[in-house]
Amino acid sequence: MRKSGVSNTVTTILAVVLLLIGLAGGYLISSTVSMSPTVVTKTAFVTVGGTVTERITITTAVAQPTGPPLKIGMTISKDGLFAPLTSGYEAFNREWLNWVNNVRKGVYIRELGVRVPVEIIMYDDRSQPDLAIQLYTKLATEDKVHILVSPYSADIGIQLIPTVAERFRVPMIMAEASTKDMWNKGYKYAVTSMVPYWEDNENGWAATYFDMLAKTKWAKTIAFVGWDITWAIDTYNSGKSLARKAGLQIVYDQLLAPGTTDFSGVIRELRTVNPDVVYLAMFGPVNALFIKQAAEAGFKPKEFHVIEYGAGFVKSLGPLAEGVTSDIFWTPSFKYYQSNLLNELMTKAGLSWVDWQWTELRMIIFQMIVSAVEDAGKLDREAINDALHRLQIMTVSGPLIIGPQGYGNIGLVTIQIQNGRIQTVWPQHLANATYIHP
């Protein structure tokens, strides 16, 4: 015992020192105020559900506040799995807020007779579902936001609707997170702009893609590979049905456990089957991985179709990305309402569309919020919720009508990588390039 005496003392001192540092830092709620000329960002640290995380409030430095602010709440992930997919939204939110408060001069509230500023409160959910739920609860109860915006993940989103939106009666707009089971339960407080893309008609995720295949008539056989996880499975199932309707023969059909990253077996089988098109229903980086492994094994179908490219697709695949098709809600070549603004905001936020392909959904959400609040005429959750459910507005992706079930009608167009750039290829009235196929 005596022998380890010295190191025990050292350990005790080490532990105490660390604790002191921690305590000292802990009792200082660091508040950093950063000023871009017109937008103020306040960062604070809060403890929610056993974890400490970051809370970012964006407001404008308004000389005289005209009225109580319209508060929008959401979480983004600055850490963990979803960080590469959502961390850019912080900058985007800031740019939009700058625009809405300083250029548009706020949102008009009929009941008060003034234009009020918008305030966005964002928490960092660190990609943890537990924490996300706690944070949304906090947004609804303590921060008293008027509207919530969903996180990226549909898995988390589907839990949030009953546990926060319905429970506290706060309207929640689902962003990227949408899946069939959100819309068939009679929820009253959730809306989304997206079509019910799991359907196998013109609403389907790859509906325009299969329309294109049917019209160009070049493909005969198709293979389906996907992860059995929300969103991916929806596009997988609707894709199969749409493929059949387009006159294609499904020669391979393999659902994998989510998280599978070794595709050598599947690729082996695909080689013997030799389909014209391979439809990959997984997350962007995983689709890229599949294509790489296929090339390594000497398998290259006439075309790969992926349900999303994800960040860094072209960069990580290089020449392998040529010709790969996918689906998206908006491209920079669109000319609909405020598309120019969206381009501008993304540039200012330093976001390249190639890597942040779902930003238009966020823009549409902002467009929805502004219209709904002005339609409602007051800063009241119920009124705003009602307004959202009967919304008919023009968005960057075209006209949006929210149906009684809560989902909208914003559909997808087909894009293809040509010469390292993403081009819109279908439908023809929105295309800016011609579809390249064998």
Partner 1 sequence: MRSVKYALIVAGFVFAASLGILAPTYYVSLLTFMLLYGILALSYDIMGGLTGYMNLGHIIFYGIGAYVFALTVNSFHNVVGSSYLPSILFPAFVMSMITTGLVALLLSYPLFRLRGFYFAVASLGLISFTNLLFSSPELAPITGGFSGITLISSVAKLTSPQLSYYLALGFFIITGTVHFLLRRSRVGLNLKCIKEDEEISETSGINTFRNKQIALVFSAMLAGIAGGCYMWFQTYTNPRFVFSVEFAFLPITIALLGGSGTFIGPLIGAIIFTIVYQLLVVNLPSLTKLILGLVLIGVGMGASRGLMEIYSLILRRRDNTS
Partner 2 sequence: MFNPILVVESVIDGLVLGGIYTLISLGLSLIYGVAGVLNISHGDMVMLAGLLTFFITNAIGQQSMGITIASSGIILLFLIVGILLYYGLIKPLTKRTKQELLIGAILVTIGLSFIVQDLAATAFGTLPRSIYIGFEPIKVGELVVPFFRLVTFIIIVITANFLWFFLKKTFTGMAMRAVTNNREMALSLGIPIHGTSAVTFGVGAVLAALGGILYLANGFPITPFIGLSLTVKALTVIVIGGTGKLIGTVIGGVVLGIAETLTGTVISFYWAPAISILLLLIVLMIKPKGILGE
Task: Report the residue from 32, 35, 50, 103 that binds partner 1 according to the rule CB under 8 A.
Answer: 50
| First-residue to last-residue Cα distance in the chain | 78
Whole-Å CA distances, 233 to 141, 263, 313: 34, 18, 21
Task: Report the residue from 8, 261, 347, 352 that binds partner 1 according to the rule CB under 8 A.
Answer: 8
Task: Report the residue from 42, 188, 244, 292 that binds partner 2 according to the rule CB under 8 A.
Answer: 292
158 binds partner 1 (CB under 8 A): yes
Q: Kindly state the tokens that stand for 325.
A: 């098709």
84 binds partner 1 (CB under 8 A): no
81 binds partner 1 (CB under 8 A): no
255 binds partner 2 (CB under 8 A): yes
174 binds partner 1 (CB under 8 A): no
Q: Determine the Cα–Cα distance for residues 421 and 387; give it in Å rounded to an integer.
A: 39
Task: Report the residue from 7, 34, 340, 347 that binds partner 1 according to the rule CB under 8 A.
Answer: 7
Q: Is residue 412 within 8 Å of 197, Cβ to Cβ?
A: yes
Helix (H) or strand (E) holding 88: none
14 binds partner 1 (CB under 8 A): yes
Whole-Å CA distances, 273 to 224, 226, 249, 252, 299: 12, 17, 12, 8, 11
Contacts of residue 111, Cβ cutoff 8 Å, sequence gap at least 6: 377, 378, 379
DSSP 162-187: IIIIIHHT--EEESS---GGGSSS--
Selected range binding partner 1 among 43-51, 96-104, 397-405, 428-436, rule: CB under 8 A: 43-51
253 binds partner 2 (CB under 8 A): no
Q: Which is nearer to partner 2, 250 or 255 (CB)?
A: 255
Q: Is residue 222 within 8 Å of 303, Cβ to Cβ?
A: no
134 binds partner 1 (CB under 8 A): yes
- Burial call 165-198: b when 16+ CB within 10 Å, e when fewer: bbebebbbbbbbbbbbebbeeebebbbbbbbbbb
Q: Which residues of this chain interact with partner 1, rule CB under 8 A?
A: 1, 4-5, 7-8, 10-12, 14-15, 18-19, 21-23, 25-26, 30, 45-54, 79, 129-130, 133-134, 155, 158-159, 162-163, 166-167, 228-230, 257-258
Contact residues: partner 2, CB under 8 A: 3-4, 7, 80-81, 83-84, 228, 254-257, 259-262, 264-266, 268-269, 271-272, 285-286, 289, 292-293, 295-298, 311-312, 316-317, 320
